[in-house]
């Protein structure tokens, strides 16, 4: 990662105003968003939006033609171009032809994308942003840090400082007073402006209409007072039908700001009268700038469905720590990473794609049903394809893939690190590894890996079914007791467990770093090992591994075009289950019974990202634990990532650590002495965090807790 | 539907009133303007955009008011405290007013003054936006305006503040009957 990029992260993390404002906002957002969507079938709504936007993305040329025809029939001039430079030239020419001296603008990300303001200013035209947030950052000489709330990174004190300078009067930081100052300062600018420039939230092909969504009322003034109106619209804003407006307007304000509807929506269809009796000079620019290339790429077409609500930023555990500016100058957050890679170039996403921890929170709330984390993975794959895997990483993968060697090295390191290891933890690592134990102890490496422990387990004979156990690295090398617990539980339900020696790393570390070729080899080796023996189930107690077996072997082969490997991958996927889903089913079928009448006290449960958002198994472990006799107390943000993210916590420990601290606090706030989870990676992160925190809270895998409560 | 509208609109800081007939709505309007300090000088005057409501009532009580202008210009709207107009539809599920605002005077009176007073026939209530938009031919409407509560912002520290560039207050007056009381 670029040094400069690491520095920008560091700066953001140490900006208390930023993390404070964003943290508070993100907490309130989740609650308010849920309230705004009450009584609405979100899945149905987003299905509708995804379908209509996807249709538009497949018919860009046709809809652009139709839009142009209909808008021009009502007197608008429509200019279409792929080139940002041509957009700037066109706008300047309209301004110069009409003797425009000053311009008022309402919020437009497309004009930010083409850096319009400095271009017009250089030509001697006064440009005034009128959206309050945009005006603040214009005065401050900054760029927006959030697509919907451009100045969310600034405090009221900073704003009052700016405004005081602007109006030459000492102002307090009273927010209503500051807002009044903005109204009074901008009003004369509206009244004298010769030209208004807006963006467009939608462009409707069948009517030639532009839809503008605002709260402040500035877009109404921008489009009503000056005699010239130019709307700059990216072609991803096209929709086919007038009836497509309503579903998007149902989702956009709810997802963006948790409002049922914004204060103002304006639907402009052709020229309208000006206040002096003349008729509006209306120009609509449909800008491509790589959007049609994006639409033509099957892996990225979905990104064209974006309605720019920024909810992916609002729920992102990383964004709320670092804010928008580390992402670059224009589009920020998850979707911003993808847009930057296309509207700018792939290389521009090289650093910022690494910020994504792949927790999937954004995919869950996206009103356009965009698989943002999936696309970021594809960016990684393409970056690695272009530039190769760094040598150090390559050598790590070759070690990881050799199980004996991997355990040997870890074990040696753990013994060499003896002075630093206390009991079950490595609390400090020397030198360059020190960051890894900053705020979190690492587990000591097990003396005997699970693969050796397994051979010593005596299983009952003549059990009716067979399960293949896929261990995964952490259970194999750090937490063999979780594997033992799983064997004990399944045996009790009449299932014999087999542990094929040929199994290897699930490939997640390679895949999440874009090294798909390595991941594909891992997948192929595992498929061979796991399908060698007949079995009723393949079971794993690690959700990340389960997702690899269940989904990602298939998608990895698909991405690489290795279709000959797909049938076996699908065979394995069909058999694979996570521990809690299988065990809950066994309990429900009466094949496994837990001790009756146990009162085990309070427990809280942490949802692991892959278990909840890919496997959709958030209820099974909760029900199992409650059936076992635990009293469940939910923590705040129970399904927010713990910050582990596999190798993420090694690459960006400075981001991983504060995410963990927040998780620890939420766990402690429940007052429960015990927290359960289904992922050994989360156990490693949270148990290590609790160890350094010193809180007397036990951190256990659900399998261990259930194994203790089997009825004899 | 009216009750739902009222809850939603008040939820976003609009003030909602309802009267059985236009005459009573007119009476309320006159009293409101007087009590809020209507006068024929800047920051106290009112502008009233042409609308069916105006053509169907006895305008005598309005004509008697000093500072109320029916010829809406940009300058008058910019210095007015009150802007009055009739809206074409209301949406119950979001507390939204919808108007064909192609005529510039309708936009001037609802954007520039501090207080916007919106007159709406109760019969113009629609359950939601799809129900309303299906009945509209957008090709005949150059500027379709939807208004939900007064102008607002949360751009400084996410603190909700009312009245940025548009009106600080939105007074909505429903009337059930189109005719007068006479």
Return the residue matching tokens 């930057």: A340
Q: What is the average pLDDT score of chain A?
A: 92
Q: Please, are residues A116 and A134 in contact by the beta-carbon 8 Å criterion? A: no
A97 pLDDT more than 60: yes
pLDDT in the model for residue A653: 87
Cross-strand pairs, A279: A273
A21 near B CB under 8 A: yes
A191 in contact with B at a CB cutoff of 8 Å? yes
Identify the residue among B10, B96, B108, B142 best suited for mutation to test binding to A, counting A beta carbons within 10 A and taking the highest.
B142
d(CA A644, CA A688): 11
Q: Which residue of A has its CA nearest to B114?
A: A183
The secondary element (H helix, E strand) that includes residue A465 is: strand A465-470
Per DSSP, the residues of A310-351 read -HHHHT-TTHHHH-SGGG-SSS-HHHHHHHIIIII-GGGGTT
User: Is B164 within 8 Å of A269 when comparing Cβ atoms?
Assistant: no
Size of interface A-B (CB pairs under 8 A): 168
Cβ-based contacts of B154 with chain A (< 8 Å): 149, 215, 257
With an 8 Å Cβ cutoff, is A160 touching chain B? no
pLDDT of residue A17: 81
Instruction: Say yes or no to pLDDT of A51 above 70.
Output: yes
pLDDT of residue A430: 39
- Taking contacts as CB-CB distances below 8 angstroms, the residues of chain A near B13 are none
Mean pLDDT over A142-150 rounds to 88
- For A450-588, the fitting CATH number among 1.20.1050, 1.10.760, 1.10.3470, 1.10.10 is 1.20.1050
User: Minimal CA–CA distance to A685: which of A655, A654, A649, A635?
Assistant: A649
With beta carbons less than 8 A apart as the criterion, state whether A263 and B149 touch: yes
Distance CA(B179)–CA(A460), nearest Å, equals: 89
Residue A47 reports pLDDT greater than 80:
yes
Helix (H) or strand (E) holding B9: helix B2-11
Q: What is the pLDDT of residue B138?
A: 86
Cα–Cα distances (Å) from A406 to A400, A453, A476, A518, in that order, read 5, 17, 11, 16
For residues A624-632, average pLDDT: 98
For residue A274, which residues of chain B lie inside 8 Å, CB to CB? 104
Q: What is the mean pLDDT of residues A163-178?
A: 93
Least confident range of A262-266, A438-442, A669-673: A438-442
B113 at interface of A, judged by CB pairs closer than 8 A: no
- 8 Å CB contact of A263 and B93: no
CATH code at A47-291? 3.40.50.10420
Query: Band of the pLDDT at A433, cuts 50, 70, 90?
Result: very low
- The predicted structure's pLDDT at residue A4: 86
Q: Is the pLDDT of residue A417 over 60?
A: no
CA distances from B153 to A131, A150, A610, B44 (A): 9, 12, 37, 25
- Per the DSSP assignment, residues forming a β-bridge with A233 are A286
Check residues A6 and A555 and name the one with the higher pLDDT.
Answer: A555
Question: Does A217 touch chain B if contact means CB atoms closer than 8 Å?
Answer: yes
- Backbone torsion region of residue A107, taken as left when φ is above 0, otherwise alpha when ψ lies between -120 and 50, otherwise beta: beta
3-state secondary structure of A208: coil
Q: Does any CB of chain B come closer than 8 Å to the CB of residue A204?
A: yes
Output the tens digit of pLDDT for each of chain B's 182 residues. Answer: 999 999 999 999 999 999 999 999 999 999 999 999 999 999 999 999 999 999 999 889 999 999 999 999 999 999 999 999 999 999 999 999 999 999 999 999 999 999 999 999 999 999 999 999 998 888 889 999 999 999 999 999 888 999 999 999 999 999 998 654 43
| Chain A residues within an 8 Å CB radius of B8 | 260
Say whether residue B150 is in contact with chain A using an 8 A CB cutoff.
yes
User: Which two three-digit tokens encode residue B121?
Assistant: 């026939």
Percent of residues, chain A, with pLDDT higher than 90: 78
CA angle at residue A531 from A530 to A535, to 5 degrees?
Answer: 90
Q: How far is the alpha carbon of B180 from chain A, nearest alpha carbon, in Å? A: 32
| Structure-token match 């007197």, residue found | A75
pLDDT at A432: 37
d(CA A651, CA A355): 10
pLDDT of residue A594: 96
Q: CATH 1.20.1050: which residues of chain A?
A: 450-588
Domain ranges of chain B: 2-177
Question: Domain A601-707 classified CATH 3.10.20.30?
Answer: no
pLDDT tens column, A211-249: 999 999 999 999 999 999 999 999 999 999 999 999 999
Please tell me what DSSP assigns to residue A431.
Answer: G
Identify the residue with better confidence: A427 or A529. A529
The tokens of A313 are what?
């930023």
Strand locations in chain B (E): 15-21, 46-48, 68-69, 82-86, 89-91, 96-100, 115-121, 125-126, 143-147, 152-153, 161-162, 169-177
The stretch A261-272 carries a mean pLDDT of: 97
Look up the CATH architecture of domain B2-177. Answer: 3-Layer(aba) Sandwich (3.40)
Positions of CATH 3.40.50.10420 in chain A: 47-291
* Residue A675 per-residue DSSP state: E
pLDDT digits (tens, 9 = 90+) for B77-126: 999 999 999 999 999 999 999 999 999 999 999 999 999 999 999 999 99
- Say what the pLDDT of residue B1 is: 92
Is A171 part of the contact surface with chain B (CB cutoff 8 Å)?
A: no
Mean pLDDT score, A97-108: 97
Whether A399 and chain B come into contact, CB under 8 Å, resolves to no
A538 contacts A498 by C-beta, under 8 angstroms: no
What average pLDDT does range A3-24 have in this prediction? 86
Position A429 scores a pLDDT of 45
Chain A residues with CB inside 8 Å of B129's CB?
245-246, 249-250
Mean pLDDT across the stretch A604-616? 97
Q: How far apart are CA A686 and CA A682, in angstroms?
A: 6
- Write down the pTM of the prediction: 0.91
Q: A332 near A149, Cβ under 8 Å?
A: no
Domain with CATH 3.40.50.1860 in chain A: 601-707
A573 part of contact set with chain B, CB < 8 Å: no
Measured between CA atoms, how close is A264 to chain B, in angstroms?
Answer: 5
What is the predicted pLDDT for the residue at A419?
Answer: 47
Average pLDDT over residues A337-345: 92
Instruction: Compute the distance between CA of residue A171 and CA of residue A173 in angstroms, rounded to an integer.
Output: 7
ipTM score over 0.85, yes or no:
yes
Long-range contacts of range A546-550, CB-CB < 8 Å, 24 or more positions apart?
A: A546/A470, A546/A576, A546/A577, A546/A578, A546/A610, A546/A611, A546/A615, A547/A508, A547/A610, A547/A614, A547/A615, A548/A506, A548/A507, A548/A508, A548/A511, A548/A523, A549/A470, A549/A506, A549/A573, A549/A576, A550/A576, A550/A614, A550/A615
Say if B169 is an interface residue toward chain A (CB within 8 Å).
Answer: no
Confidence of residue A20 (pLDDT cuts 50, 70, 90): confident
CA-nearest of A522, A545, A399 to A469 is: A545
State the sign of the Cα–Cα–Cα–Cα dihedral A422, A428, A430, A433: positive
Are the beta carbons of A270 and B145 separated by less than 8 Å? no
* CB < 8 Å from B in window 245-274 of A: 245-246, 249-250, 257, 259-274
d(CA B165, CA B146): 16
Q: Are A281 and A98 in contact (CB under 8 A)?
A: yes
Residues of B in contact with A130 (CB under 8 A): 165
Do the Cβ atoms of B145 and A159 come within 8 Å?
Answer: no
What residues contact residue A448 under an 8 Å CB cut-off, 6+ apart? A480
| Token code pair at residue B25 | 């709505």
Helix axes A403-416, A391-400, angle to 10 degrees: 110
**Do the Cβ atoms of A321 and A658 come closer than 8 Å?**
yes
- Where helices occur in A634-679 by DSSP H, the ranges are 648-651, 653-669
């Amino acid at each position: 990662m670029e040094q400069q990029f690491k520095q920008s992260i560091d700066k953001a993390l140490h900006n208390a105003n930023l993390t404070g404002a964003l943290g508070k906002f993100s907490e309130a957002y989740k609650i308010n968003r849920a309230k705004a969507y009450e009584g609405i079938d979100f899945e149905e709504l987003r299905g509708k939006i995804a379908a209509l936007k996807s249709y538009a993305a497949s018919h860009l040329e046709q809809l652009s033609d139709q839009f142009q025809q209909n808008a021009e029939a009502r007197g608008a001039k429509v200019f279409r171009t792929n080139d940002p430079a041509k957009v700037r030239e066109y706008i300047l020419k309209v301004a110069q032809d009409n003797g425009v001296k000053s311009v008022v603008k309402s919020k437009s990300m497309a004009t930010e994308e083409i850096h319009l303001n400095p271009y017009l200013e250089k030509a001697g035209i006064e440009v005034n942003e009128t959206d309050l947030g945009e005006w603040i950052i214009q005065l401050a000489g900054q760029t927006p840090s959030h697509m919907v709330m451009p100045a969310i990174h600034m405090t009221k004190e900073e704003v009052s400082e700016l405004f005081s300078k602007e109006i030459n009067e000492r102002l307090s930081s009273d927010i209503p007073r500051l807002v009044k100052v903005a109204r009074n300062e901008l009003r004369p600018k509206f009244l004298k402006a010769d030209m208004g420039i807006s963006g467009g939230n939608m462009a409707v092909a069948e009517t030639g209409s532009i839809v503008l969504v605002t709260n402040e009322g500035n877009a109404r003034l921008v489009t009503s007072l000056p005699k010239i109106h130019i709307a700059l619209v990216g072609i991803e804003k096209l929709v086919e039908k007038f009836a497509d407006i309503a579903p998007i307007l149902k989702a956009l304000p709810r997802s963006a700001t948790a409002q049922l509807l914004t204060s103002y929506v304006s639907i402009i269809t052709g020229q309208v009268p000006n206040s002096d009796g003349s008729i509006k000079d209306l120009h609509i620019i449909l800008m491509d700038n790589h959007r049609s290339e994006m639409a033509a790429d099957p892996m990225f077409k979905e990104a064209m469905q974006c309605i720019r609500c920024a909810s992916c930023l609002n729920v992102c555990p990383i964004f709320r720590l670092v804010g928008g500016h580390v992402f670059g100058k224009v589009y920020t957050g998850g979707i911003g990473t993808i847009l930057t890679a296309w509207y700018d170039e792939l290389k521009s996403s090289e650093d910022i794609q690494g910020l994504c921890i792949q927790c999937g929170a954004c995919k869950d709330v996206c009103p356009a049903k965009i698989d943002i984390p999936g696309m970021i993975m594809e960016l990684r794959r393409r970056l690695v394809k272009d530039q190769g895997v760094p040598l150090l990483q390559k050598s790590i993968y070759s070690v990881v893939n050799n199980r004996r060697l991997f355990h040997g090295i870890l074990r040696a390191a753990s013994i060499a690190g003896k002075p630093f290891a206390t009991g079950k933890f490595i609390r400090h690592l020397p030198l360059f590894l020190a960051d890894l134990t900053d705020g979190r102890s690492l587990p000591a490496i097990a003396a005997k890996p699970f693969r050796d422990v397994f051979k010593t387990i005596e299983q009952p004979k003549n059990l009716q079914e067979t399960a293949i156990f896929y261990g995964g690295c952490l259970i194999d090398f750090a937490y063999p007791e979780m594997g033992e617990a799983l064997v004990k539980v399944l045996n009790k339900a009449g299932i014999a467990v087999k542990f094929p020696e040929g199994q290897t790393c699930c490939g997640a570390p390679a895949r999440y770093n874009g090294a798909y070729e390595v991941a594909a080899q891992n997948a192929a080796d595992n498929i061979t090992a796991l399908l060698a023996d007949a079995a009723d189930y393949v079971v794993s107690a690690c959700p990340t591994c389960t997702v690899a077996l269940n989904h990602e072997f298939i998608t990895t082969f698909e991405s690489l075009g290795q279709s000959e490997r797909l049938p076996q991958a699908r065979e394995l996927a069909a058999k694979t289950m996570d521990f809690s889903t299988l065990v809950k089913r066994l309990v429900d079928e009466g094949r496994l019974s837990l001790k009756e009448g146990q009162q085990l006290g309070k427990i809280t449960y942490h949802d692991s990202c892959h278990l909840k958002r890919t496997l959709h198994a958030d209820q099974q472990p909760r029900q199992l634990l409650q059936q076992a006799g635990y009293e469940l107390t939910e923590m705040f943000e129970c399904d927010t990532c713990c910050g582990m993210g596999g190798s993420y916590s090694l690459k960006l420990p400075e981001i991983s650590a504060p995410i963990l601290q927040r998780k620890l606090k939420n766990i402690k706030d429940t007052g429960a002495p015990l927290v359960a989870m289904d992922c050994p990676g989360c156990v490693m992160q949270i148990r290590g965090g609790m160890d350094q925190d010193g809180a007397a809270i036990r951190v256990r895998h659900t399998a261990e807790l259930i194994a203790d409560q089997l009825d004899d | 539907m009216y009750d739902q509208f009222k809850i939603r609109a008040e939820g976003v800081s609009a003030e909602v009133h309802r009267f059985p007939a236009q005459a009573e709505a007119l009476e309320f309007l006159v009293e409101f303007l007087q009590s809020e300090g209507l006068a024929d000088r800047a920051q106290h005057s009112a502008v009233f955009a042409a609308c069916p409501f105006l053509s169907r009532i006895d305008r005598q009580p309005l004509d008697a008011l000093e500072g109320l202008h029916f010829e809406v210009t940009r300058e008058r709207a910019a210095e007015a405290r009150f802007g009055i107009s009739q809206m074409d539809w209301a949406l119950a599920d979001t507390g939204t007013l919808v108007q064909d605002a192609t005529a510039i005077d309708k936009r001037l009176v609802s954007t520039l003054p501090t207080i916007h007073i919106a007159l709406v026939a109760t019969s113009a209530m629609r359950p939601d936006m799809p129900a309303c938009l299906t009945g509209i031919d957008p090709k005949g409407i150059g500027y379709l305006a939807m208004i939900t509560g007064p102008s607002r912002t949360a751009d400084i520290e996410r603190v909700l503040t009312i009245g940025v560039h548009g009106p600080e207050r939105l007074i909505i007056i429903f009337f059930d009957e189109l005719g007068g009381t006479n």
